[in-house]
Amino acid sequence: VKKVSIGILGATSYTGIELVRRLHSHPHADIAFASSQSYAGQKLSGVFPEVLGMWDGELVSPEQSAKQAGHVDCVFSCLPHAVSAQLCLPFIDKGVKVVDLSADFRIRDAAVYAAWYGAAHPRPALLSQAVFGLVEHYRTQIRTAQIVANPGCYPTSILLPLLPLVKAGVVDTRTIIADSKSGVSGAGRTLKLSSHFVEANENLSAYSVGHAHRHIPEIEQELSGAAGRAVTITFTPHLVPLNRGIFSTIYFAGPPAKQCEEIARAAYGSEPFVRVRASTDLPKIGFVAGTNYCDIAFAGGENGAPVIALCAIDNLLKGASGQAIQNMNVVFGFDETAGLS
């Protein structure tokens, strides 16, 4: 297999550096360039000394990166929403495959995008072309996609346990409550008080409570699509004092846990990265941290009590860069686990 030539936009983020680490040991990928607004001109190992000896290239500016559009096969964008779509356009226009880790291609309805992200989409016509990169549910479409919208971290942890059940019609979709707990890397590398060590350590808090977090529209879009009716959820994210991982505890009216587990096993039995666990062997963040696994289990659902779905992922891998590489592997026809085991 010939190696694909890769560009990384916004490489000096936690998701960017995770891509560099994983692509470094990927058998079919070569990093051609990595861009950074803040650190252009510096070596990546000057910003992230841990990559010394892995990939020591010099970071290019976003403007310079656009000139590389004709020389790469695939671009990953770790840029913030709004900026990301704009800077992906030169690559899209050259036919380069794009895996966008921002939200810019996740929402198919441009009005919904504008309402939640506070800005008009720079090229709304592309929204219907992009494929939502939840591999386990869109693998066929991803194979031929040019633009893959890599799902958000919280949505991945909520949709993977729910989608098979919603598709099977066993969930009362008016009752879904997702209580999610995320490690601090989910808040990114930008300095802010809530991510300051002394503030986050030995602490735990809820934020964007109610119906306020920007990951809501993509969760509701996918659940609505699967249900065939408009679904609204309650979602409370929490910040917990650990580096990596999301744990989602999801409540809804549905059938006994055993039945949910069977539906999930049927859906995911041959998936390399989804592990359905028994109710006696519940997911933990520690079991998935540093891996691309998504671990799922179910409890409750007896005698009218709510079902409790439990899901754990590494927010930087299955919730971001790992899933992005999984998408790239599908797009280029590689072994889906290449670079991820």
Using CB under 8 A, list all residues that contact a second copy.
14, 24-25, 49-50, 52-53, 177, 179, 181, 184-185, 189, 191-193, 195-207, 209-211, 232, 234, 236, 238, 240-245, 247, 249, 251, 272, 275, 277, 279, 281-291, 293, 299-300, 305-306, 308, 310, 312, 341
Burial of 170 (0-12, 13-18, 19+ CB in 10 A): middle
Quote the least distance from Cβ 251 to a second copy, whole Å: 5
Query: Which of 153, 260, 294, 311 is an active site residue?
Result: 153
Rounded distance, CA 155 to CA 214, Å?
A: 10
Q: Which is nearer to a second copy, 224 or 291 (CB)?
A: 291
> Which residue, chain included where needed, has tokens 């601090």?
184
Quote the least distance from Cβ 96 to a second copy, whole Å: 27
Q: Which is nearer to a second copy, 63 or 335 (CB)?
A: 335
Quote the least distance from Cβ 270 to a second copy, whole Å: 12
Q: Which is nearer to a second copy, 101 or 308 (CB)?
A: 308
* Range 277-295 burial, b when 16+ CB lie within 10 A, else e: beeeebbebebbbebbbbb
Would you give the end-to-end CA distance of the chain in angstroms? 19
Rounded distance, CA 9 to CA 40, Å?
A: 11
172 phi, psi to nearest 5 deg: -80, 100
Q: Which is nearer to a second copy, 48 or 91 (CB)?
A: 48
Quote the least distance from Cβ 286 to a second copy, whole Å: 4
Rounded distance, CA 209 to CA 10, Å?
A: 29
**Catalytic residue flag (residue 88):** no
Strand order in the sheet with 147-149: 29-34, 4-9, 74-77, 97-100, 147-149, 131-132
Quote the least distance from Cβ 304 to a second copy, whole Å: 9
Q: Which is nearer to a second copy, 42 or 64 (CB)?
A: 42
Q: Which is nearer to a second copy, 102 or 292 (CB)?
A: 292
Quote the least distance from Cβ 39 to a second copy, whole Å: 12
Rounded distance, CA 302 to CA 313, Å?
A: 27
The DSSP letter of residue 179 is E
Burial of 306 (0-12, 13-18, 19+ CB in 10 A): middle
- What residues act catalytically? 153
